[in-house]
Amino acid sequence: MANELEQMVLKKAQMWLDGHYDEATKKQVKYLIDNDMKELVESFYKDLEFGTGGLRGIMGVGTNRMNIYTVGAATQGLANYLKKNFAGEQIRVAIGHDSRNNSRLFSEHVADIFASNGFTVFLFDALRPTPELSFAIRELKCHSGVVVTASHNPKEYNGYKAYWTDGAQVTPPHDKNIIEEVNKITDVNMILTGQHPENITLLDEKFDEIYLNKVHELSLSPECVKKHHDMKIIYTPIHGSGVRLVPASLKKFGFTNVKLVPEQAVVDGNFPTVESPNPEERKTMSMAIDLAAKEGADLVLATDPDSDRIGVALRNKKGEYVLLNGNQTLVLLMSYQLTRWAELGKLDGKQYVVKTIVTSQMANAVAEHFKVKCYDCLTGFKYIAKIIRENEGKTKYIGGGEESFGYLGGDYVRDKDAVSACSLAAEAAAWAKETMGLTLYEWLQKLYVKYGFYREGLVSVVRKGKEGAELIQQMMVDFRANPPKTIVGSPVVKINDYLTLETTCLKTGVKTPIEQDKSNVLQWFTEDGTIVSVRPSGTEPKIKFYFGVKAPLASVADFEQVRAQLDAKIEAIKKDLKLE
């Protein structure tokens, strides 16, 4: 079998040696054929596919790598699909990119291909936050758009996200149909390049102002900001695209004391100061937290390289900085928006919020308190965008997000937006200080007393390469055949299977349909309210286990004790499921 695979890979590699590929690429392919069969197999054994985040992979030569040829084939396939969908129309597309190595090269290549296909092309003149690209598609009435980014992945990666007319990432059936068109691009000669450069318009700082003005419309407490404008804020763009617009947005909201981490305000696709440019990790946030401690800052904010994910650290009573997880950030931002909407008399039963199925149930409790509908959707912001699209003209979207550090306030963008999330977080801090004399961290603790102490955990099991992908698929098969009967002693009473789209009540055996798109996700619910969700990642070689536990919190004085109990319970669940 291995020999068959190697033969297939060698045949594909030979096509690159014989085809119209540049000499440097051919030289690298030849080197792999002669010296590194394992890497050759990884580079050619399959074609990069659109997952929940589009195209994403390690940069290098081969059909399973990010390079100008795989990006070119994806773009020509997308162009062909757009021509079929919008026959007779002048197709308009927008293109953005982040700070990663090759991002500018890839985005200019994408622009060239779209222009050569006769499209009207809007290309940002330099790196920009991903949410601004989503905004541009809507603002400039584009049919589609592309952003070149691998989000918070390590520096070896790059990616390609395709967007639809509403400014959201493509959803079924478009994603699969685009793949079909991409698969038809069997020769580099089928990719149109070098024609009609006059079709490309560069977007500059004037467009940034239009976007920032829209972000500013989210402001709910300008008077509180006025009184606390000099609140100390430390911000890090982690070498990425938030470097200019996050400080500009905070300034527009009225904040005058924002300091950037100087070493991380340098745009650099090698991310030299961090192992991984992911604001979820304390190590990545350490420089910002150290500077905050030195300055005595109220708030620490961070964005990932394409500025769609937000990291937040808050000071506790002891003066230590606590890094929030994505669930806590979402609960704070959603609670702030809903509280202010209610206080301003803007809630009339025609509003809603959205969260993903693996995100804290605390968001549901907050929404219920304000009598606002809370939708649960699949993981991936495109599914949140889909709900916004389906409700357009009927009900008003306030905010929503997912546990993976993504939040979106307002519907003028259709992807997670850390530019607006940073501004809302800062405004929420000013409001809490002015109206309650509380820090955001103290307010979060009060919310736990009000709604219950929800605590979440996550384990990512990484299995790389072809073998890893097969192992992950087998794990899901095994879990379906033999689900756990109990989790830490509490019986499993319900199973949600998003592949079969069925909920099974284990007490009665009754199955009921789930109204969702299909996805390879399992959820187990226990008698004591614990939820465990299992989901293979759509963009990375890993399978994720999400844990949600809950307990009442009588008072803030009990916070540390109850948190320790919930954390111990999460650790026990990991052991029970043999994940540690």
Active site residues: 151
Judge whether 305 and 153 are in contact, CB under 8 Å: no
SS3 515: coil
Judge whether 530 and 551 are in contact, CB under 8 Å: no
d(CA 428, CA 441): 11
What does the radius of gyration of the chain's CA atoms come to, in whole angstroms?
A: 24
Please return the burial class of 286, using the count of CB atoms within 10 Å of its CB with bins 0-12, 13-18 and 19+. middle
Residues 6 or more apart whose Cβ sits within 8 Å of residue 459? 544, 545, 547, 574, 579, 580
DSSP secondary structure of 295-329: HT-SEEEEE-TTS-BEEEEEE-TTSPEEEPPHHHH
Residues 6 or more apart whose Cβ sits within 8 Å of residue 296? 232
d(CA 454, CA 12): 51
Q: Please give the order of strands across the beta sheet that includes 157-163.
A: 55-58, 157-163, 144-148, 92-97, 120-124, 200-203
CA distance between the termini of the chain: 33
Residue given tokens 């395709």 in the structure block: 162
User: DSSP label at 188?
Assistant: G
SS3 240: coil
* Total H helices, total E strands in the chain: 18, 23
d(CA 170, CA 176): 9
SS3 46: coil
d(CA 246, CA 234): 11
Residue given tokens 């536990």 in the structure block: 549
Cα distances from 383 to residues 125, 176, 377, 433, in angstroms, run 29, 15, 6, 35
d(CA 548, CA 496): 15
d(CA 249, CA 520): 38
Residues 6 or more apart whose Cβ sits within 8 Å of residue 449? 553, 554, 555, 556
d(CA 157, CA 104): 14
